[in-house]
């Protein structure tokens, strides 16, 4: 009989107990409330499937499901179609400015997608700058609203999810594999199709899954661009906050559909990857492909064009923010007026955003890193359960978590609604999978015998973790925390459900400005967010790893 | 100086019985070696003593104190790791002082003890260096000093020399042995290198698939292996199987490889098969056969000249050739195909009864 509690388990058990308690309270309990509400009748007393029946009987909600799925699938395919060739070209062709390109190519991922969408509206919307200019010239205009616009904005935002892992995979393909293929008589194209692509496919699919889930749960982009088209994440929100009478049961049913779809995608990908793990260690990288100047020019134009296109809206926003508005009308004149107005009206949201995001990001690291430590260093059923639990937030849309937190904590022994803590908790839970994964990635590079040596010399496991391992991990932890902070600053999907009273954030300010008149203020607010995103990233660029980005 | 008593310890990983009921009594001040092929459970057993691997069954005592229920940081063992495990964020001094500050040793006392420990491993004055400025051998010395300075009850070494090159390995093993004897510390040493084990151990335990195969002093194990596995693992040998033909002059007569061998008498009926180990150096080519001496005749199938030593392969009848090792005194011309007579002393043969 193995002892139930081995003598060296105090530290991992403490961490596991805390993690289970924390995630149980702020993830499992809210999710349960959502689930329960979807199965209860109007009085909240009887079990019923009415909500689900009603969802599937209503054409509007059926098309919400269909639209969300279609957008998710199309965006995923588009990101793969862009990311895979881009990775291949970046790895194998002498494209000018490659290192700049590599640094820039991760950027779209980090810039707030919903600001990107807003920028496209500023440019191509009904009152957009380009639209008006085209109209002024009497030229036909295209619309940015609707499904094609949404898919385009998502694709330009998310393709690095595929590009970054695919790039790592292409680089890890050993030259001899391809040479062997060619030696056996296959043409270069055939080798690419039959050898190279299958070997990097797992990485591409892993990235594709991130795109799908991210797209499915995203609130801001469809909110800006969908107009009257129903979208799951938004309908759940609308039903919950109830513009025309709240319906928590149906909101819960839609939320559960979102969770189930994301979970299914996750399982599907696991199932696929379980049977395809190619360990490739590049001993010699494949040679740079030589082409004529035309080929190189085309490749460079493709890669540079896409990256610049993805960053263009952000540049546009900054420029617009620096211009003078008279009412909603843009004047060809530079001014800091928008920023002055913003700081008069939005000091509090700005402080909220920066301060609360810091608390949440640091909190995510404080909780996530010890969990990562237990996962990587102690193999046990408890660690495995922790691993699964810590990944659950990944499949839970922000809207859903927000709804759950309100259902769970608007009454009873712990009331959090109306305060700032509920925002911090939502962000923290949402960023936990990232913190855990990035922590694990760092830990895999630290030799575990160092910790054993420390314990052997008389330091307890917890002392060893906090005083030896954490200092060794510090660079990676700082990089990961900043990255988490950056994405929290631009979070919208749970924030929009949870903000209240004085606890609004910059994303909410922009979100509200979209409905109202303040295009200039919104652009200035978006600019502040962009700066708040890019500057810290540039500062910690050296501490960041590409795999950090790939698990955002 | 602490005696270590390991009683019926066992550990299973999934379906693998890594350690399957091992009992060892290690005496105070002894250098005890765990020797065995890869995967036999040496590291697991050592880590059980250190506390990094939980026991499914059994107990471990240091002197009269039961320690397997203690967490690893309270066991007072000094472990030397295969890959050194030197803290890269601390200087040499910081590394060696690590265990002392964990024990709350005062700063001025600490300085002296660290310096003495560094002098002990021939690194005096290296305290301010950083690990990345040291060679592999020097890192291993720092690791040794770091483990010794805390005056552990037991020193634990897991293949400490396997990352060093051949010459350094020989030097370091002598140093470790000399230090261990000088300090009179109890040490458990894990290796899969039989020469290393023979060279430095007071006693060796040969392990196989999680069990002890034999425990004893190096020479005793070499001369009288308890099982065919030990005979083959510890030193080269000719492991032969033959049929008992009868007895003569207190010897067992056994037919193997188409020849008749004389073996020490053991309990084996005529007609049964026995396995026996015949060390290469126990076979000597002779030019003149002495009457009554035990000999076998064959022809040289291959010869290898290794400086002072000559290795021959001698084909008898059928089956694989016999390995013969001798000092090259020039008496035998190692021409392939030449007939040769090999004399041996039956008492140097180990028979494994059926
Ligand atoms: N943490 C573990 N999980 C699963 N199996 C393990 C673990 N540690 C050891 N084993 C298994 O237990 C057996 C014994 O391993 P151990 O490391 O003790 O061998 P060893 O004798 O030290 O071998 P080597 O000479 O290769 O270091 C092996 O089959 C190994 O695969
Ligand atoms: Mg080992």
For CA atoms A267, A268, A269, A272, the dihedral sign is positive
CA distance B144 to chain A (A): 12
Mean pLDDT computed over every residue of chain A: 82
- Collect all residues of chain B within an 8 Å Cβ-Cβ radius of residue A10: 71
What is the chain A residue with the closest CA to B155?
Answer: A456
Check CB contact of B85 with chain A, cutoff 8 Å.
yes
First to last CA, chain B: 42
Q: Which strand ranges, in their side-by-side order, compose the sheet holding B31-35? A: B77-80, B154-158, B186-191, B31-35, B203-208, B211-216
CB-closest option in A8, A457, A471 to B98: A457
Chain A residues close to B51, C-beta within 8 Å: 7-8, 455
Q: Is the pLDDT of residue B77 over 60?
A: yes
Q: Residues A148-167: pLDDT tens digits?
A: 899 999 999 999 888 888 88
d(CA B48, CA B46): 5
Residues in contact with B269: Cβ distance below 8 Å, sequence separation at least 6, in sequence order: B244
Q: Which of A7, A454, A472 sits opposite B98 (nearest CB)?
A: A454
Q: How confident is the model at residue A142 (pLDDT cuts 50, 70, 90)?
A: confident
Strand-by-strand arrangement of the B238-248 sheet: B259-264, B251-256, B238-248, B273-278, B350-352
Relative to the CA of B45, which ligand 1 atom is closest? Answer: 18
Q: What is the atom index within ligand 1 of the atom nearest the CA of B37?
A: 25
pLDDT digits (tens, 9 = 90+) for B28-38: 999 999 999 99
Q: How many CB pairs under 8 A join A and B?
A: 85
Nearest alpha carbon, ligand 1 atom 1 = B13
Quote helix, strand, coil % in chain A, to nearest 5.
75, 5, 25
Residue located nearest, by CA, to atom 30 of ligand 1: B39
Confirm or reject: Cβ of B277 under 6 Å from ligand 1.
no
Cα B228 to its chain centre, rounded Å, is 16
**Confidence at residue B280, expressed as pLDDT on a 0 to 100 scale:** 92
Most confident range (mean pLDDT) of A112-126, A311-325, B204-218, B315-329 is: B204-218
3-state secondary structure chain B: CCCEEEEEEEEEECCEEEEEEEEEEECCCCEEEEECCCCCCHHHHHHHHHCCCCCCEEEEEECCEECCCCCHHHCCEEEECCCCCCCCCCCHHHHHHHHHHHCCCCHHHHHHHHHHHHHHCCCCCCCCCCHHHCCHHHHHHHHHHHHHCCCCCEEEEECCCCCCCHHHHHHHHHHHHHHHHHHCCEEEEEECCHHHHHHHCCEEEEEECCEEEEEECHHHHHHCCCCHHHHHHCCCCEEEEEEEEEEECCEEEEEECCEEEEEECCCCCCCCEEEEEECHHHEEEECCCCCCCEEEEEEEEEEEEECCEEEEEEECCCCCCEEEEEECCCCCCCCCCCEEEEEECHHHCEEECC
Buried b (16+ CB within 10 A) or exposed e, A221-256: bbbbbbeebbbbbbbbbbbbeeeeeebbbbbbbbbb
CATH second-level architecture of B238-352? Beta Barrel (2.40)
Convert the pLDDT of each residue in B213-253 to its tens digit. 999 999 999 999 999 999 999 888 999 999 999 888 888 89
What's residue A276's pLDDT? 58
Residue A432 pLDDT class (50, 70, 90 cuts) = very high
Q: Is A239 in contact with A497 (CB distance < 8 Å)? A: no
B12 lines ligand 1 (CB under 6 A): no
Looking at residue A102, what is its pLDDT?
82
pLDDT at A20: 92
Contact between A213 and A176 under an 8 Å Cβ cutoff? The reply is no
Q: Which residue has the higher pLDDT, A245 or A47?
A: A47
Q: For residues B163 and B175, what is the distance between their CA atoms, to the nearest angstrom?
A: 16
pLDDT tens figures, B118-163: 999 999 999 999 999 999 889 999 999 999 999 999 999 999 998 8
Region A387-414: what's the mean pLDDT? 87
ipTM of the predicted structure? 0.84
Predicted pLDDT of residue A155: 94
Which position has the higher pLDDT, A293 or B53?
Answer: B53
Mean pLDDT estimate for chain B: 91
Tell me, in angstroms, the distance from the centre of ligand 1 to residue B330's CA.
Answer: 47
Q: Is A244 on the interface with B (CB under 8 A)?
A: no
Ligand 1 atom at minimal distance to the Cα of residue B207: 21
Kind and range of the H or E element at A113? helix A113-124
Coil vs helix vs strand at A451: helix
pLDDT at position A185, please? 62
Any B CB within 8 A of A454 CB? yes
pLDDT, residue A327, reads 66
| Phi, psi of B68, rounded to the nearest 5 degrees | -75, -10
Answer for the pair A441, A340: CB distance below 8 angstroms, yes or no: no
Q: What is the pLDDT of residue B139?
A: 93
> Could you tell me which chain B residue has the CA closest to the CA of A449?
B85
| Whether A460 contacts chain B with CB within 8 A | yes
| CA pair distance A360, B250, nearest whole angstrom | 87
Q: How much is the pLDDT for A245?
A: 64
Average pLDDT of the residues in A65-82 = 94
Output DSSP code: residue A490: T
**Residues B304-345: pLDDT tens digits?**
888 888 899 999 887 889 999 988 877 777 788 888 889 998
Window 471-490 of A, Cβ < 8 Å to B: 471-472
Each domain of chain B, given as residue ranges in start order, spans 4-233, 238-352
Q: What is the pLDDT at residue A46?
A: 76
Name the helix (H) or strand (E) containing A324: strand A323-326
Specify the pLDDT at position A42: 66
Highest mean pLDDT out of A28-42, A186-200, A418-432: A418-432
Task: Quick: pLDDT tens for B42-74.
Answer: 999 999 999 988 899 999 999 999 999 988 899
Q: Residues near A529 by Cβ (< 8 Å), separated by ≥ 6?
A: A112, A115, A353, A489, A490, A506, A507, A510
How many CA atoms, within 13 angstroms, populate the side-chain half-sphere of residue B30? 18
Lowest-confidence region among A316-330, B252-266, B305-319: A316-330
Residue B214 pairs with which residues in a beta bridge? B206
| Per-residue pLDDT at A136 | 81
**At A397, is the secondary structure helix, strand, or coil?**
coil
- Torsion, CA B32, CA B38, CA B40, CA B44, rounded to 10: 70
Are B71 and A7 inside 8 Å of each other by CB?
yes
CA of B132 relative to ligand 2 center, distance in Å: 25
Closest to A221 (Cα-Cα) out of A156, A317, A130: A156
Q: Is A456 in the B-facing interface, judged by CB distances under 8 Å?
A: yes
- Note whether A234 and A226 are within 8 A (CB): yes
pLDDT of residue B167: 87
Q: How far is B192 from chain A (nearest CA, A)?
A: 20
DSSP β-bridge partners for residue B311: B304, B325
Q: List B188's β-bridge partners, or say none.
A: B32, B156
Measured between beta carbons, which residues in chain B are less than 8 angstroms from residue A459? 73, 98, 102
Any B CB within 8 A of A4 CB: no
| Higher per-residue pLDDT: B128 or A107 | B128
Question: How far, in Å, from the CA of B134 to the mean position of ligand 2?
Answer: 25
Q: Are the CB atoms for A410 and A523 separated by under 8 Å? A: no
Residues 6+ apart with CB under 8 A from B57: A1, B8, B9, B10, B21
Average pLDDT for A359-364: 95
pLDDT recorded at residue A544: 64
Q: Is B59 an 8 Å CB contact of chain A?
A: no
Which residue in B56, B71, B78 is closest to A8 by CB distance?
B71
- Contact check, Cβ <8 Å, B69/A460: no
B42 close to ligand 1 (CB < 6 Angstrom): yes
Q: Rounded to the nearest whole angstrom, what is the distance from the C-alpha of residue A281 to the centroid of ligand 1?
A: 25
Q: Per mean pLDDT, which range of A361-370, A480-489, B215-224 is the poorest?
A: A480-489
The pLDDT, as a whole number, for residue A175 is 62
Mean pLDDT of B164-176: 89
Task: State the distance from the centre of ligand 1 to the C-alpha of B141, rounded, in angstroms.
Answer: 26
Average pLDDT over residues B4-19: 93
For the domain made up of B4-233, the CATH class stated in words is alpha beta
Task: Write out chain A residues lying below 8 Å of B89, CB-based.
Answer: 468, 471-472
Q: Give me the domains of chain A, ranges plus CATH numbers.
A: 10-31+332-552 (1.10.3720.10), 49-321 (1.10.3720.10)
Name the H helices within A288-416: 293-321, 337-345, 347-377, 381-391, 398-409
**Statement: residue A1 has pLDDT above 70:** no
Ligand 1 atom 12 nearest Cα: B18
Model confidence at A287, pLDDT cuts 50, 70, 90, reads: low
- Ligand 1 site-directed mutation target among B40, B162, B192, most atoms within 8 Å of CB: B40
pLDDT at A381: 81
Fold equal for B4-233 and B238-352: no
C-alpha A106: how far from chain center: 12
Q: Among the atoms of ligand 1, which is closest to the Cα of residue B210? A: 14
Which of A203-207, B171-175, B346-350 has the least mean pLDDT?
A203-207
Higher-scoring residue by pLDDT: A384, B117: B117
- pLDDT by residue (tens digit) across A32-64? 988 888 887 766 677 878 788 888 888 888 899
Alpha carbons A75 and A210: distance in angstroms, whole number: 11
pLDDT tens digits, B145-154: 999 999 999 9
- Find out whether the beta carbon of B38 lies less than 6 Å from any atom of ligand 1: yes
Nearest-CA residue for ligand 1 atom 14 is: B41
pLDDT at residue A130 greater than cutoff 50: yes
Label residue A180 by pLDDT band (50, 70, 90).
Answer: low
Nearest CA to ligand 1 atom 22: B43
Please give the Cα distance from A411 to A317 (Å, whole number): 41
């Amino acid at each position: 009989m193995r002892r139930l509690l081995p003598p060296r388990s105090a530290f991992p058990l403490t961490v596991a107990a805390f993690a289970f308690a924390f995630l149980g309270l702020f993830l499992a309990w809210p999710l349960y409330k959502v689930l329960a509400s979807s199965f209860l009748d109007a009085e909240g007393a009887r079990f019923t499937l009415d909500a689900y029946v009603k969802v599937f009987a209503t054409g509007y909600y059926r098309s919400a499901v269909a639209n969300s799925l279609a957008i998710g699938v199309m965006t995923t395919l588009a990101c793969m179609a862009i990311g895979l060739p881009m990775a291949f070209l970046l790895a194998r062709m002498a494209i000018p400015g490659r290192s700049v390109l590599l640094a820039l190519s991760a950027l779209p991922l980090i810039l707030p997608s919903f600001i990107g969408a807003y920028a496209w509206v500023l440019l191509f919307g009904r009152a957009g700058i380009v639209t008006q200019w085209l109209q002024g010239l009497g030229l036909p205009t295209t619309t940015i609203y609707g499904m094609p616009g949404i898919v385009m904005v998502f694709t330009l935002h998310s393709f690095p999810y595929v590009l970054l892992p695919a790039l790592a995979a292409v680089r890890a393909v050993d030259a001899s594999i391809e040479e062997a293929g060619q030696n056996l008589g296959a043409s270069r194209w055939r080798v690419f199709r039959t050898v190279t692509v299958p070997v990097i496919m797992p990485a591409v699919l892993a990235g594709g899954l991130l795109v799908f889930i991210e797209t499915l749960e995203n609130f801001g982009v469809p909110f800006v661009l969908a107009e009257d088209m129903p979208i799951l994440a938004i309908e759940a929100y609308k039903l919950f906050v109830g513009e025309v009478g709240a319906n928590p049961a149906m909101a819960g049913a839609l939320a559960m559909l979102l969770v189930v779809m994301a979970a299914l995608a996750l399982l599907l990908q696991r199932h696929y990857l379980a049977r395809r793990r190619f360990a490739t260690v590049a001993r010699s990288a494949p040679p740079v492909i030589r082409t004529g100047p035309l080929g190189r020019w085309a490749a460079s134009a493709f890669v540079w064009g896409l990256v610049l296109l993805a960053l263009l809206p952000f540049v546009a926003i900054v420029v617009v923010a620096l211009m003078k508005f008279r009412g909603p009308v843009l004047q060809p004149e530079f001014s800091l007026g928008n920023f002055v107005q913003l700081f008069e009206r939005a000091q509090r949201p700005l402080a909220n955003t920066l301060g609360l995001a810091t608390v949440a990001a640091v909190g995510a690291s404080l909780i996530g890193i010890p969990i990562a430590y237990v996962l990587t260093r102690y193999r046990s059923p408890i660690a495995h359960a922790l691993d699964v639990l810590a990944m659950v937030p990944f499949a839970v849309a922000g809207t859903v978590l927000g709804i759950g937190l309100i259902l769970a904590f608007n009454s009873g022994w712990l009331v959090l609604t109306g305060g700032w803590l509920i925002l911090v908790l939502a962000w923290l839970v949402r960023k936990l999978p990232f913190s855990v994964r990035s922590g694990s990635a760092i830990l895999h590079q630290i030799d575990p015998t160092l910790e054993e040596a420390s314990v052997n010399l008389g330091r307890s496991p917890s002392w060893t973790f906090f005083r030896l391992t954490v200092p060794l991990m510090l660079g990676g932890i700082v990089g990961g925390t900043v990255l988490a902070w950056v994405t929290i600053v631009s979070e919208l999907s749970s924030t929009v459900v949870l903000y209240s009273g004085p606890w609004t954030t910059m994303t909410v300010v922009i979100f509200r400005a979209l409905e109202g008149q303040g295009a200039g203020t919104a652009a200035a607010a978006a600019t502040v967010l962009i700066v708040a995103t890019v500057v810290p990233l540039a500062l910690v660029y050296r501490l960041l790893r590409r795999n950090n980005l790939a698990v955002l | 100086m602490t005696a270590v008593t390991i009683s019926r310890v066992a550990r299973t990983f999934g379906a693998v019985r890594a350690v399957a009921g091992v009992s060892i009594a290690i005496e105070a001040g002894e250098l005890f070696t765990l020797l065995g092929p890869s995967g036999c459970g040496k590291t697991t057993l050592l880590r059980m003593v250190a506390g990094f691997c939980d026991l499914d069954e059994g107990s471990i005592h240091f002197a009269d104190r039961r320690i397997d229920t203690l967490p690893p940081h309270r066991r007072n063992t000094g472990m030397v790791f295969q890959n050194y495990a030197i803290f890269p964020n601390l200087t040499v001094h910081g590394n060696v002082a690590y265990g002392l500050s964990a024990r709350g040793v005062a700063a001025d006392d600490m300085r002296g003890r660290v310096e003495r420990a560094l002098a002990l491993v021939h690194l005096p004055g290296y305290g301010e260096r950083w690990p990345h400025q040291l060679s592999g051998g020097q890192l291993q010395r720092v690791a040794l000093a770091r483990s010794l300075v805390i005056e552990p009850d037991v020193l634990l070494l897991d293949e400490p020399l396997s990352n060093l090159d051949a010459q350094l390995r020989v030097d370091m093993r002598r140093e470790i042995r000399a230090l261990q004897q000088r300090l009179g510390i109890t040490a458990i040493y894990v290796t899969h290198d039989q020469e290393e084990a023979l060279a430095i151990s007071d006693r060796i335990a040969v392990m196989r698939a999680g069990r002890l195969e034999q425990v004893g002093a190096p020479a005793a194990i070499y001369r009288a292996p308890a099982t065919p596995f030990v005979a083959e693992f510890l030193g080269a040998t000719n492991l032969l199987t033959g049929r008992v033909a009868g007895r003569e002059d207190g010897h067992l007569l056994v037919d193997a490889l188409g020849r008749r061998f004389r073996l020490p008498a053991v309990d084996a009926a005529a007609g049964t098969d026995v396995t026996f180990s015949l060390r290469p150096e126990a076979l000597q080519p002779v030019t003149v056969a002495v009457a009554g001496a035990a000999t076998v005749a064959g022809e040289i199938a291959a010869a290898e000249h290794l400086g002072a030593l000559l290795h021959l392969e001698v084909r008898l009848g059928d089956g694989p050739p016999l390995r013969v090792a001798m000092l090259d005194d020039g008496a035998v011309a190692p021409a392939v195909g030449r007939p040769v007579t090999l004399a041996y002393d039956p008492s140097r043969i180990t028979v494994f009864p059926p």
